[in-house]
């Protein structure tokens, strides 16, 4: 078993007034040679956008881009003609493929919007761009992990061009869960959204992250009032 630990206070940070962002991995002006990625997990940004502000239309290609709002509402527009609003309990995915342009704005003129921006390196390049979103509110079960992303179109949650699985967990009481890795060679990265967890005799708190690989079974103790995002991704 191998692991990497990223405590919340060690993340990169930038604040330009309208965007307050913490970076688990090297991004934009934040560069750390030992924090380039976790396998194919390339970007994990914890973003807060001021009321009425946002990202003007900009391009992406050959990347799977996932957004998960934690608070507030984010309006999405893209060059495919999609106009949508995502909010807490939703997950949005864009397969940028051969090229897509999009913008994201805080829909509120009075409250911040907070969301996770995640980039996954795909296993196919130059695919036709695509957009999708779902609400996983109806899928959630207390004290359990719920699948919100996978490689399969017909599976629960959204899908991407990669052998990756994402799970969301909300825990109201102390719970021990076992997670079995889907595919040999994959690793697991867990971000503590709120609350605290224990893995391998170490405790992690809000916005701490831990990545584990070369281990097929992971035992996680989740404490009361905890939410986590678990991301299983190929390490190569």
Structural domains of the chain, ranges and CATH numbers in brackets: 12-137 (2.60.120.10), 141-234 (2.60.120.10)
For residue 172, give the nearest of 147, 141, 134, 215 by alpha carbon: 141
Task: Round the average pLDDT of the chain to a whole number and report it.
Answer: 97
- Phi then psi dihedrals of residue 9, to 5 deg: -70, -10
Q: Is residue 48 a contact partner of residue 106, using CB atoms and an 8 Å limit?
A: no
- Which tokens hold the place of 99? 């090229």
| pLDDT attached to residue 145 | 97
pLDDT bracket for residue 207 (50, 70, 90): very high
For residue 134, give the nearest of 162, 114, 153 by alpha carbon: 153
pLDDT bracket for residue 15 (50, 70, 90): very high
Q: Tell how far CA 70 is from the center of its chain.
A: 11
Q: Is the pLDDT of residue 126 over 90?
A: yes
Q: Is the pLDDT of residue 140 over 90?
A: no
Summarize pLDDT for 26-68 with one digit per residue, the tens: 999 999 999 999 999 999 999 999 999 999 999 999 999 999 9
Three-state DSSP string of the chain: CEEEEECHHHCEEEECCCEEEEECCCECCECCCCCCCECCEEEEEEEEECCCCEEEEEEECCCEEEEEEEECEEEEEECCCCEEEEECCEEEEEECCCCEEEEEEECCCCCCEEEEEEEECCCCCCCCCEEEEEECHHHCCCCEEEEEEECCCCCCCEECCCCCEEEEEEECCCEEEEEECCCCCEEEEEEEEECEEEECCEEEECCCEEEEECCCEEEEEECCCEEEEEEEEECC
Strands 144-150 and 158-159, sheet pairing: parallel
């Amino acid at each position: 078993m191998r692991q990497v630990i990223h405590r919340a206070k060690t993340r990169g940070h930038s604040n330009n007034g309208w965007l307050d962002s913490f970076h688990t991995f090297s991004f934009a002006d934040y560069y750390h040679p030992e924090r380039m990625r976790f396998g194919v997990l390339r970007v994990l940004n914890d973003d807060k956008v001021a009321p009425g502000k946002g990202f003007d239309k900009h391009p992406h290609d050959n990347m799977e881009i996932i957004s998960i709002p934690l608070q507030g509402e984010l309006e999405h527009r893209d060059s495919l003609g999609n106009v949508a609003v995502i909010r807490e309990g939703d997950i949005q995915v864009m397969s940028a493929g051969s090229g897509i342009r999009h913008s994201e704005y805080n829909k509120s003129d009075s409250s911040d919007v907070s969301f996770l921006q995640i980039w996954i390196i795909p296993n196919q390049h130059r695919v036709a761009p695509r957009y999708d979103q779902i609400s996983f509110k109806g899928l959630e079960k207390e004290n359990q992990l719920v699948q919100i992303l996978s490689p399969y179109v017909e599976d629960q949650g959204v899908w991407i061009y990669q052998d990756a699985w994402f799970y969301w967990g909300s825990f109201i009481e102390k719970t021990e869960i076992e997670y079995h890795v889907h595919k040999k060679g994959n690793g697991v990265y867990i971000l503590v959204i709120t609350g605290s967890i224990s893995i391998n005799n170490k405790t992690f708190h809000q916005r701490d992250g831990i990545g584990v690989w070369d281990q097929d079974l992971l035992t996680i103790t989740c404490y009361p009032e905890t939410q986590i995002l678990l991301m299983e991704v190929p390490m190569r």
